[in-house]
Amino acid sequence: MNNHIVKSYDAEFQELDRMTAHMGGLAEKLLADAFAALERRDPNLAAAAVASDKAIDNLEAQVQERAILMIAKRQPLANDLRHIMTVLKIAGDLERIGDLAKNIAKRALAVSGEAHPKTLMNGLRHMSELAMRQLKDALDSLSTRDAAKAREVWHSDAGLDALYNSVFRELLTYMMEDPRNIGLCTHLLFGAKNIERIGDHTTNIAENVLYLVEGVAMTDERPKGDDTSSMVLAARPA
């Protein structure tokens, strides 16, 4: 961040960044708690995770209000305007990550009374661990303005897609083997999809960090690997 003659202007940017970092920390914790609740079938932890999403929503509203005031009062140009607009976009992605993590916690509430094999959670656990690592790295790249780390996050999303494909295939097979598994596996499938979508929003954050640091929007096609639509069509009876 460039230093300004008016020190209060610098302080406003620092507060904007602090609030965004706080949003990121809350989103990380919500995701970790939501998956832990799903894995342990813990309704109390799930309910607490659902409730904690409100704090992320409130912070996004505060970031938006502060950004609008800065634009109206300072009339920023060039790098300053890019900084503000990028933070707004990142705050929006963090709010969506919070919503998706909350949805995982709701799935945990729905299956809290059902037993399921521990092996069934292995793939979901790997997805969750990768998504949390990507989110942490994306937030670190934002705080340090590290374009190289942001680019690593951007490229790593294909790995999360590949894991999602594997989990989708495993759960689909489990449902086809025994129709009694359909209810549980459907909730787990939605949980897996929510994690995959969190990866997409984390990739958005990485793209915005690159734009903030380098001043050029990414035009490369994202490295996607989600082929679950074709798997669904192949699984349909003729």
- The predicted-structure confidence for 161-215, as pLDDT tens digits, reads as follows 999 999 999 999 999 998 888 999 999 999 999 999 999 999 999 999 999 999 8
Compute the distance between CA of residue 11 and CA of residue 36 in angstroms, rounded to an integer: 37
Summary count for the chain: helices (H), strands (E): 7, 0
- CATH class of domain segment(s) 7-235: mainly alpha
Q: Determine whether 218 is exposed, middle or buried from the number of CB atoms within 10 Å of its CB (0-12, 13-18, 19+).
A: middle
What is the pLDDT, as a whole number, of residue 143? 94
What is the pLDDT, as a whole number, of residue 180? 86
What is the pLDDT, as a whole number, of residue 223? 65
What is the pLDDT, as a whole number, of residue 226? 60
Compute the distance between CA of residue 86 and CA of residue 171 in angstroms, rounded to an integer: 38
Residue-range domain boundaries for the chain: 7-235
Tell me, what amino acid is at 138? A
What is the pLDDT, as a whole number, of residue 74? 83
What is the pLDDT, as a whole number, of residue 172? 93
Q: What's the pTM?
A: 0.89
What is the pLDDT, as a whole number, of residue 228? 64
Q: Read off φ and ψ for residue 221, nearest 5 degrees.
A: -75, 135
Low-confidence spans in the chain with pLDDT less than 70: 1-6, 222-238
